[in-house]
Chain A
Amino acid sequence: MKKWNLIVDVDNCTNCNGCVLACHDEHFENDFPGYAAPMPKHGHSWIDIRQKVRGTSPVVDVAYLPVMCQHCDEAPCIAAAKNGAASKRADGIVIIDPAKAKGQKELIDSCPYGAIWWNEELQVPQHWIFDAHLLDAGWTEPRAQQSCATGAIRAVKVEDAEMLRIAEEEGLKHLNPELGTKPRVWYANLDRYTSCFIAGSIETEAKGIVDCVEGARIVLKRGGEQVQETVSDNYGDFKFDGLAEDGASYKVEISHDRLGSKSLDVKLKDSVYLGAISL
């Protein structure tokens, strides 16, 4: 049985809000009985783009994470819902029926992703329905995909085994897999949002002139073990990425054939730019 999955590439999301606005356009003042009640004009982000700025000026990067209903196969909302208000369709899409779910505010807290929103006026919990109403009417893609200019959002309807193969091949991950919710939303390049980096700029002074040091070798060690190695670029910049935000201690060892070596200790909880390091 082919089922829907959504693949979100964090590397290609620019926060243009095309998907967010398309969702709003689709649901504001539009009632789709059996799928979704109208969305309020303000206060809801059924597709919610979260921003993470790493580092400090002038060495920063920024990643955006669109978070929407994850259409979990082990959905906590389905477990929490009374009288079958939340249910799983055969094509994998989770629907919170607006009529059955009326008054079930507790569904908001059941979602560990914060992807269910409470409509105060209508007294219903609401979420991004994967544009199931459109897919059922013959659309081949949800509007979030149609409105995405960079191809950061892609819906695929495949067998679960095929999806696992795609996930493996493209390095896709789930948001908070430890929750065991088995989401049908997958993320590419999730590290850009969830991991942190250590960066620095190597320089040297000669005859009163400070210049960038290109080609220095930098080794990153954790608990004495080398975890990464890199070479500084023409700005003397280096960056170790994909590190866990776990507060671990690292040693950054810099060496250069001609200019000698230096080593720094870093305790990493958040991305850190070490600034200029003089050799």
Chain B
Amino acid sequence: MGATKFSLILFGLAQTLKIQARRYPAFAERLKEKNFTAQMRTKDGKAGRYFTFKDGKVISRKGLHPNPEVDLIFKDAKTAVGLLMPPIDQLKQINAIKDFNLALEGPDELTNWFTQTVMKSQTAGWKYGIDMGGGVTRYTNMTNGGPVFLYVKDGKILRMTPITFTEDDPEPWTIEAHGKKFTPPRKTSLAPHGMNWKSMVYSPDRLLYPMKRVDFDPNGERNPQNRGISGYERISWDEAFDIVANEIKRAKRVHGPGSIANSHGSHHTWGNVGYYLSANFRFVNAIGMTRVHHNPDSWEGWYWGASHHWGGSLRVGQSETYGGVEDCLQNSEMVVFWSSNPEGTSGSYGSYEGAIRRKWLKELGIKVVHIDPYYNDTAQFLGGKWLAPRPTTSPALALAIAYVWIDEDLYDKDYVEKRTHGFDKWRDYVMGKEDGVPKTPEWAAEETGVPAKDIRALAREWGTKRTYLGAGGWGNGHGGACRNATGIQWARTMVCLVAMQGLGKPGVSMGNLQWGTPVDTNFYFPGYAEGGMSGDLHHTAMSVELYQRMPQLPSMNTNDQLIPRLQLPEAIMNDKAEGYVWNGVSIEAQFNKISYPKPGFSPVRMLYKYGGSIIGTMSNSNRHVKMYQSKNLEFVVNQSIWFEGEAKFADVILPACTNFERPDISEWAALGGYAHHGQTQLNHRVIVFQHEVIKPMGESKSDYEIFNGICKRLGLSAYFSEGMTELDWVKRVFEASDLPKIISWKKFLRKGYVVLPAEKEELRAPVSWRWFYEGRKKDVPEPMPLPSDYTEEYLMGLQTQSGKLEFECESLKRFDAEDPERPPIVKYTPSWEGHRSEGVADKYPLQLITPHPRFSFHTQGDAKDSFINNIEEHRILVDGYYYWVIRMNPADAAARGITNRSLVNVHNDRAGVICAARLTERIRPGTVHGYESCANYDPLGEPGNSIDRGGCLNLLTPNRSQLKKGHSMAAAAALVEIVPWNGKDTAIGGGAKAGASAKKTGKSKVAVAAE
């Protein structure tokens, strides 16, 4: 019976291939690609059918072929029928593969083509997009800055817009506060780096062909010293794939496990299949690569510091994020934005969704205060009091606020008594009992430059008004001051301050209206951190939910050697590095040390680099330039969309296409994992089918196709792709989500997007921390901390040992109670690169801050001849070149003979960067401001040893970790000097005069710190 059904199914498949070829020209074209015979049969050979592809024709016969190139073998007919009979059960398929009930034999090039062709026969008839008339089709896609409609004609993108909802889309939520009703507009917003994409897709810097460095010969001279100097020649994909596959084999053969490293950026183009945590991780695991282990770059102070006070390790030291918008608007009387510029950073992925909510804050007349050395975009929008501390001194300001509260009895003593632990110890430090230094406003004024009277006034108001503390871009962390040398201290003091005021009391919490909207938090759609098709349960959040919903072959990196990312150059150049891990599973996981190389593993000799952002985003990054010229790197391949940054330092460049040139599926701001329910940044949950709106530019390919191409040469393509195209994977994500409950696949493909209905008012997620304030079990919809991390009953209390907010951290006492950099109670230690740094601050008296850029998304959207270059707050055009902007107070500029829009050399011992000066009262005197994340590294002389005019301010920033027993970047602040640039000097230093004085004084402490 099984045999008959099997025969029928195979006959049906043969007919399908022929029919689809007749109906769809693209499918007919595909059938012309190969001439060979594939066979599907039972293991005993008693049933089967073969398919001969010849010049686009399919000839199929029942029975066995004497010599098929491809053989797809089922254990028996019953198994085959179970797997092939629609509806296809993905779990059955995976289990059949795991149990060896299904085998695929033949050369990868043909097996992969055959299985993908069979899959394509099912998808060939799918219709996408909305016909707008006049030959225009409207598609959808998703950017890091929000969802978009794309109007496409004749294969070219005409326009991109945010999405305006129609009457078919659901109504949004309404919040009532102080007798007013607030409802967000029925549309999506779009960040500048989203609105800019047309110029990025068609950028002249797109990589259109595979390329090889002209003086790189894999079989001869490799000339690593010329990376970044010598040019490139176009090669074919076959040649590129061959070189990369051969180098992978060679590295393993010659050096052994560990010798290949993978390094990717912290972000990517959006999607669940194409994301780096998805296809890239499956590929990396299939090859076995040393992981360049990331530091928690956006969370530093929160992960290494705050988590010890309030837990939240699975949010990287941040906390719950629910219900904050409603609570803040209804119950708070003041919001303190502390190193918090959500108008500038858009919540990373939240576009301008939060702007309208902060406008309501303005409409309600709720007071706001901004603490930031720069009068930032949020201050500009909301107005209010501006306090401008010196960079890195905010912890001192926080201590003085606590001092006033204790001194004047302005904190919630009952709460501190019942809900916190170890307050007395910290109180003694704050009041000076421990060290003889009372942390008075006058003490803090010396340190911060903020008048004592203002500190006192703020403390008094804060101590008597129900206040939300918006710390960092997300309001409870992320970006800002947590990324400088005192970032750990700062994040810790932020938690201590809200703990004193009764965190969880109505109107008292952390937040800045960026997170915590009343959207539906029960509808499931995976976030990118859930790993998509990676099969990786170890390094993604797949185990939380996606793995059960989207059965797939697991993947595991057999090579568990790690390189701490901040020391990647040292690891490569010196074969040695140490650090600590970023692992959110528990508070204590961060105490695990990394030593590189790992015993028995080879040091890295080949680098598989994904993208080119490091020079603009890491610290003291001339180190990376030098790394690329090291002989220890025998081969560097870079897979990149644009020819920029360190892509220019590779031996072979693989051109990847953008997310507009491949299919994918995703939800706006759905991060998952460490940023669970990131959608609460939004006013509407929007899920889109990411149409392949245009064909890949030039010969570029999707990341999936590139990885699969390499896998084909390593016999891994069936494992990597599971025989599918990326479009098939997209459908698997759809089916894994709750989407099929509310929309058909067909409709989703056409319309392209779904707006989820707002949650019913009575079903909205509870307000964060209220359960804790009221002494109840945790009731917010987040699956963290893990069950074993509760001290008392499950869901009672926090992740800390005491289950309380800990002023004195038991985890730090257990780990190293004597660590001067991170004592159990938070203390203020001035920055090792701040205004008090002896011998350095006199030579480099300006404190540079490098916050996240406003208009580009890190390096994405910058340079590349994009529209964003026209924005004068981003780059300034001088003599035909778009220079990075450095903001200076007019007084500092006048003292140096610097005029508005003139070119200047921003320098210290580490580097020199040419910028255009923008003189503004928005920056406090003594501090200068320029964004991090320049995409363009443009050395004026020898790479690594000359000044850069691209604008990579991260060349100037310290690479020292915030703490030795951690792995924590401190790159958001540095000491520099700025002088006019004469247009000629190319050497690092402030020109001839400054160069001479640098020689005389020798190595400064900045340089020492760098080592």
Contact = CB atoms under 8 A, between A and B. Distances in A.
Nearest to B153: A30
A41 B924 contact: no
B855 interface: yes
Contacts of A28: 198-199, 867
A200 interface: no
Given A28-B198, A30-B159, A60-B386, A150 B356 contact: yes
Contacts of B855: 17
Contact of A25 (B195, B356, B383, B456): B195
B162 interface: yes
A45 B453 contact: no
Contact of A146 (B187, B198, B868): B187
A41 B867 contact: yes
Nearest to A55: B921
Interface string A76-91: 0000000000000000
A16 B352 contact: yes
Interface of B: 158-162, 164, 185, 187, 189-192, 195-196, 198-199, 202, 343, 351-353, 355-356, 359, 375, 377, 380-381, 383, 385-388, 442, 451-454, 456-458, 460-461, 855, 865, 867-871, 873, 877, 889, 920-925
12 contacts: A16-B192, A17-B195, A24-B199, A58-B924, A60-B922, A61-B383, A150-B381, A210-B451, A234-B457, A235-B457, A236-B453, A276-B451
Contacts of B920: 53
Question: Which label, helix, strand, loop or mixed, suits the secondary structure of the A interface?
Answer: mixed
A211 B442 CA distance: 11
A110 interface: no
A22 B161 contact: yes
Given A22-B195, A210-B452, 15 more contacts: A14-B355, A15-B377, A18-B192, A21-B192, A21-B196, A25-B196, A41-B867, A53-B921, A58-B387, A62-B375, A210-B451, A211-B453, A212-B453, A234-B460, A236-B453
A57 B921 contact: yes
Contact of B161 (A57, A147, A151): A147
Q: Please give me the 8 A-B residue pairs with the lowest Cβ-Cβ distance, nearest first.
A: A149-B352, A21-B195, A149-B189, A62-B380, A212-B457, A24-B867, A212-B453, A149-B355
Contacts of A55: 921
Contacts of B889: 57
A26 interface: yes
Contact of A18 (B190, B461, B925): B190
B377 A149 contact: no
B162 A146 contact: yes
A22 B151 CA distance: 13
A211 B185 CA distance: 44
A9 B460 CA distance: 35
A24 B870 contact: yes
A227 to B, nearest CB: 22
A235 B460 CA distance: 10
Contacts of B923: 57
B359 A150 contact: yes
Contacts of B185: 151
Contacts, number: 139
A25 B158 CA distance: 8
Given A57-B921, A61-B383, A45 B870 contact: yes
Contacts of B359: 12, 150-151
A16 B189 CA distance: 11
B352 A25 contact: no
A138 to B, nearest CB: 10
Interface in A118-174: 143, 146-147, 149-151
A146 B164 contact: yes
Contacts of A59: 386
Interface residues of A, number: 47
A112 B869 CA distance: 27
Contacts of B873: 15, 51
A57 B388 contact: yes
Contacts of B352: 16, 18, 149-150
Nearest to B156: A29
Contact of B375 (A60, A64, A203, A235): A60
A151 B352 CA distance: 11
A143 B375 contact: no
B187 A53 contact: no
A45 B873 CA distance: 14
A210 B450 CA distance: 13
Contacts of A207: none
Nearest to A211: B453
B356 A149 contact: yes
Interface in A166-222: 203, 209-212, 214
Interface in A1-59: 12, 14-18, 20-22, 24-26, 28-30, 41-43, 45, 51, 53, 55-59
B985 to A, nearest CB: 27
A17 B922 contact: no
Nearest to A237: B385
Contact of A235 (B355, B383, B385, B867): B385
A79 to B, nearest CB: 30
B453 A203 contact: yes
Nearest to A26: B159
Given A20-B871, A57-B921, A210-B453, A147 B461 contact: no
Nearest to B197: A25
Contacts of A143: 161
A62 B922 contact: yes
A230 B758 CA distance: 44
Nearest to B375: A60
B364 to A, nearest CB: 15
B133 to A, nearest CB: 9
Contacts of B353: 149
A210 B191 CA distance: 44
A61 B380 contact: yes
